[in-house]
Structure formats: C-alpha cells, structure tokens
Amino acid sequence: MSSPTVREITYLEAVREAMVQEMRRDQEVFLMGEDVGTYGGAFGVSMGMLQEFGPERVIDTPISEAALTGMCVGAAMMGMRPILEIMFFDFVTLSMTQLIHHAAKNRYMFGGKVSVPMVVRAPSGSGTGAAAQHSSCLENWFVGTPGLKVVAPATQADAKGMLVTAVRDNNTVIFVEHKLLYRTKGPVSDGLYEVPFGKARVARPGKDLTILAYSIMVPRALEAAALLEKENIDVEVVDLRSLRPLDEDTIHASVAKTERVLIVHEAPTIGGFGGELAAVIASGPAFDRLDAPIQRLGGRECPIPYNRGMERAAVPQVEDIVRAARKLAREGK
C-alpha cells in the first residue's frame, strides 16, 4: 500500500470517500435512501457507488422515511452498520418515531442488551432557494435526545474523518451535512482515518474574542475574522464539530483566554443549541473571566423564505457576524 496522499477534494467527495472506503473495509456497512442508487443521491453524494457495490449495498428505496429509518434500526440491531441518507434534513420529521423511540432508546429500554449502530446523513441549511420545507437546521432536536450523537462537520477533512467515526460508532449518529458546503474544496487525505467525536477544533487562534460555530457558520466566522483582523480585532474561531458529545474543555479554555464569546448558528436563536452553549459557559469555570455578556447570533424567528434577499436575511451572513463580533469586542472597553 502506498502512503496516504493529501489532495484537494470537495466536501461532497469527502463524504462519499468515507462511505466508499468504509464499505470496502466492512461488508456490514450499507447505504440506503431515496434515489441514492442510479440517481446518485439528490445532491450527487453517492454518485457511482451503485456501480461499485451493487443494489444490495446501495439501496434505492420507496419514499417511506419512517419505515426506512425503522429498517435501519432493525438491521443495526442485527449487527449491520446502515447509513441512511435523508434527502433533506427537513424530511427527518418523517423519521422521528424511529429515531427518538427506537434508535435513541432501544439500548437503554432493553437494559444494554442491544445497540443501534446507524448513521443518519442529512443535508441541512438554507441558501439554495429551496424555501421553508427544504432548508431547515434541526440539530437541536437531536442534541436534546440522550442516546443519540450529533455531529456537524465544517471542513472536508472532518466530513470524511467524522463519517468514518460515525460508521464505526456503536450508537446512532445524526450526521449533519450542509448543502452549501458540498461544493467547497479542501485538503483531505486519501487514507482511512477517524476524527474523534467530542473534540472541538480551534480553527483560528485569537485573543480578543471567541466565536463558537459549527457547520456552515465556521467558514463564515473565519471570513468574518479575516475582515475584523483589519480592524485589529483578533478573533478565535472554535469549530465545535461534535454537538453531542460536546467538548466543554475547549470551550472553557477559549472563553477563559479571550474573555468574550459570540455563539453563531444558522438555526433560529430561540430554543437553538446556542442557548445550551451559553448555559455551559455561564455555569462553567470561564464565567468569572467574562468581560461582556455572552452573545448569540442565530437564524431569525421565521421559516426560511424563498426570496433571495429574504433568505439571506433569515440566517447569519458574514457581515452579520462581523457586526456582532465588532460590537462585542468593543463592549465595556
């Protein structure tokens, strides 16, 4: 075997590469979902996989999310490792019975006698003009469900490594992808590697304030940080990557260092994961070090609208992050 090479590939290709390499390694891994076979997935993530693995491992299905999710639960309890593609994260509403009542609870309800090792891959987020029912960010529902793990990688390398980890994890993992990240490129090793859950990544070190972000908001926060650097505001960007389990240590360390924190996510602010992050900080060791109130910047309190301008306005953009971070950096000084 030649040693691994790092190339520039897209986020979408990184997700596909993780699936392909895991399916080559482990016969028990299979992909199931609507149009994942011949069509290659609604976003093309599984393009070509049917040709390599055949219809018994890349399984095209009827439009029956509830049953498909339950079937993955059943197959997982038998020791298989299903990857279920939910075409749009929004459609996970149709899978909720199985995810909440079986995937998350079966191990516990059965006193530890079974496990449900499955991955639910779901493209989330707005920005494609798909309007209210094809643009949602619903990760907070699952973060509040013991028994599930929830990850939302922002980089191509993490998308691959965390999906490998997800497939090998003995629990159900909600793997949140982002439609706008699919075409972004970055360095990814062609070897097989795992990126552990519960470990945040400092995407950009800084000293003046911390931005906590995940998924699409990481590149936006980095862009904002680059702009703020010109104003002599030195922003630290922490990419949480894994929401449940959560790396509280890295959060506390960063906030203790910068003494200011802005939490950014695309989902609406009220009831969003940011509230939990704020509570973690407020009840943690870095609270005494805060020089300003914890700030949250989330999506607006509305469904995602269709009109381009309205759609942009509904979720944090780079300029919104710049504005919020600038205000926070100056507060109390």
Partner 1 sequence: MPLSPAEVQQQYGIEADLRKQVIQSFSQEKCLWMLRSMYQTRFFEENAENLYMRGQVHGTMHLSIGMEGSPIGAMAAIEPDDLIIHHHRGHGHTIAKGADLVTMVAEFIGRDAGYCRGRGGSMHIHDIEHGNFGATGIVAAGLSVAAGIALSLKLHHDGRILLSFFGDGATNEGEWHETLNIASLWKLPVVFICDNNQYGMSMAAEKVMAVEHVAQRASAYCMPGVTVDGSDPIAVYLAVKEGVERARRGEGPSLIENLSYRWRGHSKSDRNLYRTGGEIDEWKKADPIPRFAIHLMEAGILDEESIDRVEKEALESIQKATEIALTLPEPDPARVEDEVYAP
User: Is position 115 an interface residue for partner 1 (rule: CB under 8 A)?
Assistant: yes
Which of the stretches 99-107, 209-217, 283-291, 296-304 binds partner 1 when contact is defined by CB under 8 A?
99-107
| Sign, Cα dihedral of 151, 153, 158, 164 | positive
Nearer to partner 1 by C-beta: 162 or 212? 162
Nearer to partner 1 by C-beta: 106 or 135? 106
Do the strands 29-33 and 261-268 form a parallel or antiparallel pair, or are they unpaired? unpaired
CA-wise closest residue to 202 among 180, 229, 235: 235
Give the N- to C-terminal CA distance of the chain in Å, as an integer: 57
Q: Of 1, 112, 283, 309, which lies in the binding site for partner 1, with binding defined by CB under 8 A?
A: 112
Nearer to partner 1 by C-beta: 110 or 306? 110
Which of the stretches 110-118, 155-163, 185-193, 272-280 binds partner 1 when contact is defined by CB under 8 A?
110-118
CB of residue 79 vs partner 1: minimum separation in angstroms?
8
CB of residue 93 vs partner 1: minimum separation in angstroms?
13
Amino acid 302 reads C
Residues 6+ away with beta carbon under 8 Å from 137: 89, 124, 125, 126, 176, 215, 265, 266, 267, 299
Give the contact letters, 158-197, x = binds to partner 1 (CB under 8 A), - = no.
------------xx--------------------------
Q: Of 1, 113, 230, 309, which lies in the binding site for partner 1, with binding defined by CB under 8 A?
A: 113
How many residues form the binding site for partner 1 (CB under 8 A)? Answer: 41
CA–CA dist 302, 117 (Å, integer): 35
Strands (E), 164-255: 172-178, 185-189, 201-204, 209-213, 235-239, 242-244
CB of residue 197 vs partner 1: minimum separation in angstroms?
11
CB of residue 168 vs partner 1: minimum separation in angstroms?
12
Would you name the residues annotated as active-site residues? 65, 134
Nearer to partner 1 by C-beta: 98 or 140? 98
Nearer to partner 1 by C-beta: 82 or 274? 82
Nearer to partner 1 by C-beta: 96 or 202? 96
CB of residue 250 vs partner 1: minimum separation in angstroms?
21
Applying the rule CB under 8 A, the residues between 256 and 295 that interact with partner 1 are none
CB of residue 183 vs partner 1: minimum separation in angstroms?
33
Cβ neighbourhood burial of 36 (10 Å; 0-12, 13-18, 19+): buried
Contact 198, 246 (CB under 8 A): yes
Applying the rule CB under 8 A, the residues between 27 and 86 that interact with partner 1 are 30, 56, 61-62, 64, 66-80, 82
Number of H helices, E strands in the chain: 12, 14
Residues in the chain: 333
Cis peptide before 219 (omega within 30 of 0): no
Query: Order of strands across the sheet with 201-204?
Result: 201-204, 235-239, 209-213, 261-268, 295-299
CA–CA dist 236, 316 (Å, integer): 18
Question: Alpha carbon of 43 to those of 86, 123, 178, 185, 207: distances in Å?
Answer: 11, 9, 11, 16, 39
User: Is position 87 an interface residue for partner 1 (rule: CB under 8 A)?
Assistant: no
Q: Which residues bind partner 1 (CB under 8 A)?
A: 30, 56, 61-62, 64, 66-80, 82, 97-98, 101-102, 106-115, 117, 146-147, 149, 170-171
